[in-house]
Amino acid sequence: MQKDLETKFLSDFEQNQNIAHKICRLYTTNQDAHNDLFQEITIQLWKNYPKFRGDSKFSTWMYRVALNTAISLYRKSTRQVKTQDISEVEFRISSFDYDDTEEKQLNELYKAVHKLNDIEKALIFLYLEDKPYKEISETLGISSVNARVKMNRAKEKLKNILNP
Amino acid sequence: MDLLEKYKKAWDNQPEEKNKVSSIDIYKMAHSKSSSIVKWIFIVGVLELLFWSGINFFVPDSIYVIYEDLNLMSLLNVFLILHYVIILAFLFLFYKNYKKISIIDNTKKLIINILGIRKTVKYYVFYNLATFFLISVVFNSIIFSDENKLMKIMNPKNLSMDMSQFITITLISQIIALIIILTLLWLFYKLVYGILLKKLNRNYKELKKIDDLN
């Protein structure tokens, strides 16, 4: 039983690992911190996997656990240097077959999101991932209406950073 | 088009992570140790207990002779036992917090749990400071209530001096020492647990702003 659970977890996680990577990129600014957070997310996912009953999709559940880990249970991020290491982010996401303007925009976006606080980051991330308000409010534990209001504020803030 | 829509398109088209992790790596990571804040609060609590009880071994026996002279040894022992029981209870609470904090809960519930942890830590620090203060006050009042005892401890060489002046000087120096030690202890806790709680506090405040928890 334990073995089955483990195999299932490993394959589910492997397929959805991009979610965790994206969160790590939003919440950290260098590769070491990225790896640390990724590992912490992995630990938390595995620790909580027995409680995952499959009443939602694995990815939905993963968004919640990974975001909560990034928001609250992560110790090392306090050591993070405030100044942003741009070249490293660029290095982390650059790719040959990728549109040049979009690459630039993506870098700007990451840079801007790094300036938001942890909760705003979560809101913006869920927006970028096209999550419905229902899911956003469940993930954060606030009402739909409230999620909508706060989302608009977070978006405004982001726009101001992107286009001052 | 909305400014963010443009960026959102870039987001949607972003390449997948190049350093993909294999399931073997995931397996290894999942079985390694967590470094969560709550766990560190528990570990630091245990280390602290070991540190203070370790210090007891290095306290010279002559100190205890003083207490024996004053017939305070049994009182001291009662205090110590009670103290360790309470500390162990706190450690148990820290451990329970660490176990309880389940991140499948939504963020708000998680933050409420964190608030509970913060409270436990606050009580823990307050308890330690209060105990130290209380014990000092009790022992000092016992010593000061008896002039003979006082002379014996504070003036072992039996130098002749004015009694009331002597008491005043001793009292003032005792109070100053107490204030200094309490401040140092407070700074110690502020530093150790303050660092651990800093990020948690920040996120708690943020979420409280977003959704008035009260």
Q: Domain of B66? A: 35-210
Residue of chain A whose Cα is closest to the Cα of B39: A73
* Within a domain: A3: yes
Q: Are residues A17 and A68 in the same domain?
A: yes
Give contacts of B206 with chain A, Cβ < 8 Å: 117-120
Count of structural domains within chain B: 1
For residues B23 and A12, what is the distance between their CA atoms, to the nearest angstrom?
Answer: 10
Q: Are residues A57 and A123 in the same domain?
A: no
Q: Which two tokens stand for residue B197?
A: 């709680």
Among A126, A27, A19, residue whose Cα is nearest residue B17: A19
Q: Is B173 on the interface with A (CB under 8 A)?
A: no
- From A59, A82, A105, the end of a domain falls on A82
Model pLDDT, residue A97: 53
Place of tokens 């909305």: B2
A44 with B34: Cβ contact below 8 A: yes
List all residues of chain B from 188 to 207 with a beta carbon under 8 Å from chain A.
Answer: 195-196, 198-200, 202-203, 206-207
Question: For B77-84, which contacts have Cβ atoms below 8 Å and span 24 or more sequence positions?
Answer: B79/B135, B83/B131, B84/B53
* Within a domain: A125: yes
Q: Are residues A5 and A75 in the same domain?
A: yes
Contact B66/B153 with Cβ under 8 angstroms? yes
* Within a domain: B49: yes
For residues B114 and A118, what is the distance between their CA atoms, to the nearest angstrom?
Answer: 15
* Within a domain: A88: no
The Cα-based distances of B68 to A79, B143, B149 in angstroms read 49, 13, 12
* Within a domain: B24: no
Domain of A26, CATH number, reads: 1.10.1740.10
Give contacts of B22 with chain A, Cβ < 8 Å: 14
* Within a domain: B139: yes
Of B8, B22, B103, the CB nearest to A73: B103
Is residue A124 scored above 80 in pLDDT? yes
Place of tokens 């975001």: A67
* Within a domain: A104: no
Q: Which two tokens stand for residue B139?
A: 């022992």
Taking residues B147-173, what's their average pLDDT?
A: 75
Is residue A79 scored above 50 in pLDDT? no
Residues 6+ away with beta carbon under 8 Å from B116:
B97
Interface-testing mutation among A23, A27, A42, A114, with chain B (most B C-beta atoms within 10 A): A42
Residue B199 distance to chain A (closest CA, Å): 7
Q: Are residues A77 and A119 in the same domain?
A: no
Residues 6+ away with beta carbon under 8 Å from A79:
none
Contact A113/B21 with Cβ under 8 angstroms? no
DSSP state of A49: G
* Within a domain: B100: yes
* Within a domain: B194: yes
Among A86-100, A147-161, B140-154, the range scoring the smallest mean pLDDT is A86-100
* Within a domain: B4: no
Helix, strand, coil percentages for chain B (3-state, nearest 5): 80, 0, 20
Count of structural domains within chain A: 2
Give the helix ranges, DSSP H, for chain A.
2-27, 31-48, 58-72, 86-93, 100-113, 118-128, 133-140, 144-162
For residues B90 and A84, what is the distance between their CA atoms, to the nearest angstrom?
Answer: 40
State the distance between the two ends of chain A, measured CA to CA, in whole angstroms: 55
DSSP letter string, A75-94: SGGGG--SS--HHHHHHHH-
Can you say how many angstroms the Cα of residue B66 is from the centroid of all Cα atoms in its chain? 29
Q: Domain of A152? A: 115-164
Q: At B214, is the pLDDT very low, low, confident or very high (cuts 50, 70, 90)?
A: very low
* Within a domain: B134: yes
A68 with B21: Cβ contact below 8 A: no
Per-residue pLDDT tens digits for A2-60: 678 788 889 899 999 999 999 999 998 888 888 888 998 998 898 888 888 777 889 98
* Within a domain: B172: yes
DSSP state of B195: H
ipTM > 0.85, yes or no: no
Model pLDDT, residue B66: 72
Express as a percent the part of chain B with pLDDT over 70.
Answer: 90
For residues B196 and B42, what is the distance between their CA atoms, to the nearest angstrom?
Answer: 11
- pLDDT mean across residues, chain B: 80
Taking residues B46-73, what's their average pLDDT?
A: 75
Residue of chain B whose Cα is closest to the Cα of A14: B23
Q: Is A102 on the interface with B (CB under 8 A)?
A: yes
Model pLDDT, residue B151: 72
Q: Are residues A76 and A124 in the same domain?
A: no
Contact B41/B94 with Cβ under 8 angstroms? yes
Q: Is B214 on the interface with A (CB under 8 A)?
A: no
**Max intra-chain CA distance, chain A:** 55
Q: Are residues A10 and A59 in the same domain?
A: yes
Q: At B213, is the pLDDT very low, low, confident or very high (cuts 50, 70, 90)?
A: very low
Is residue A95 scored above 90 in pLDDT? no
Residue of chain B whose Cα is closest to the Cα of A142: B211
pTM over 0.80: no
Among A56, A26, A57, A54, residue whose Cα is nearest residue A41: A26
Give contacts of B200 with chain A, Cβ < 8 Å: 72
- From A82, A101, A134, the end of a domain falls on A82
Among A70, A83, A67, A108, residue whose Cα is nearest residue A30: A83
For residues B41 and B196, what is the distance between their CA atoms, to the nearest angstrom?
Answer: 7
* Within a domain: A100: no
Q: At B156, is the pLDDT very low, low, confident or very high (cuts 50, 70, 90)?
A: low
- From A63, A82, A101, the end of a domain falls on A82
